[in-house]
Structure 1
């Protein structure tokens, strides 16, 4: 089943220690590209979150935002003196190299990541709950991508039926195309009052028929349509394979257009290109 790369979910959890809110959003991307915004106190969860994403998703730009609000009761703020000392040394180095650099005030120092710590919350429990919340959110995101993918597959299948209709129309036109070429050639020869060998005329007609023969292109178009339908039902990522098939469909449509000798077949070739482009745009969203 095809999965979209576009989805969004928001999950929350509240307990005595406070509340967690986690958002996951994903959009189109050629490869898997995760981005995390986590509180400093939960920053060490990122490697595990990243590994989980790699195990369950193949493509898409995925943004994860986690917010943690500790419970107000019993909450204390404390200064991480080691972190503050490191920051002070760094500021001293900056003043040595750039004396005119402005000195940050106390509030700016407190706002620096890691300087202020919240005491009172059981961080181990918060991390366990955050990890469980991430798993729930990711499952919901994947379910949303699956629903969107099912809708995209329906839209693509509609276009595939349109491709079949155009292929059938061109096949039905082939006999009349050949007959029209024969008639036009005969009329031109009659106008010129040329006295040509009948065998030479037949050879010219056969050559024109060969140039206008698109049976092979029509067969390949039908084969590619069947393969696209099959890929849409496969498990796992299929977006890149579908994108390749769109290139092949477009190649056959271009050849069909170049061989066209009547307005009807030209119109069919143009319609094929429109349908293929519409499918290609939808496939850009598929994992």
Structure 2
């Protein structure tokens, strides 16, 4: 995958491991988020894993709500490792013999072994170094799970890229249409103003000069060249940002600038076709904004 590929924020990664009688599995999930938030759920007795897991996520990801789930289990001691507590068994046998003399049924071996305290697992001293080694191995698996999550988010980014690029291309085409239509605004304003003035005061002295001045003033107010120039610049900025990930936050801000210029374009429009272009432009920008919210 290209280092310049944008990433999405939705994905899943998993890693499994085993060592020294321990087995574990890690799942890393993420969804959209304005900032980066890493949540951790882990097994008891491995308190340091939360710090390591969050640090791993923060070093690899930039945005999104990330959940790390760690499950770890130690193999239970087998029957061969169990031992009989002879003192406890002797007390049970003494009681059983007394009851048998009184007519009770003698106990079976299975019954005696099932009594509390007769069978016990050998106590194991906690090996601090061994536990630290297991914790380090689990932490390495957490890194693997987050790397798998990151790869999943990159695949989502590869799917998002053509969609986002398509919307940007459409905005660029609409801006070009608006530029062509805006060139006709001055003449449309002049014709409209001339028609109204001649209807109201056809014989007023200096009518042509007044028409020219008023039409020029209205055309100045309706001039949308600055808005179109800024929209063109925003299109170029969006394309540049897509080549410089992570760009999600900057693209979010750029969408606000896009919409601001489109709103101004609509408010200045003096012709129905230009208004129609402005409205379509706003619709496409909103569609682009929805997609940008998925970008890391």
Matching residue within 25, 32, 41 for 1:28: 32
TM-score relative to the length of structure 2: 0.76
Matching residue within 207, 217, 222 for 1:207: 217
Any unmatched runs of 5+ in structure 1? 78-116
Equivalent residues of 2:40, 2:50 under 8 A apart: yes
Any unmatched runs of 5+ in structure 2? 83-122
Matching residue within 235, 240, 246 for 1:225: 235
| Alpha carbons of structure 1 residues 134 and 152: separation in structure 2 relative to 1, 3 Å | same
Please state if 1:48 is matched with 2:56: no
Q: Give 1 or 2 for the bigger CA radius of gyration.
A: 2
Matching residue within 151, 154, 178 for 1:146: 154
Superposition pairs of residues 237-256 of structure 1, within 5 angstroms: 237-256=246-265
RMSD: 2.4
Deviates more, 1:183-192 or 1:155-164: 183-192
Alignment deviations for residues 212-234 of structure 1 (CA, whole Å, 9 cap, x no partner): 21111101000011001101110
Aligned equivalents of 1:42, 1:118: Cα separation in 2:
18
Superposition pairs of residues 12-27 of structure 1, within 5 angstroms: 12-14=16-18, 17-27=21-31
Matching residue within 27, 37, 40 for 2:41: 37
SS class of match (2:14): strand
Aligned length: 247
- Corresponding position of 1:98: none
Q: CA deviation at 1:120?
A: 9.1
Equivalent residues of 2:197, 2:211 under 8 A apart: no
Q: CA deviation at 1:152?
A: 2.1
TM-score relative to the length of structure 1: 0.79
Q: CA deviation at 1:274?
A: 1.0
Moved over 3 A (4+): 72-77, 117-125
| Alpha carbons of structure 1 residues 120 and 157: separation in structure 2 relative to 1, 3 Å | same
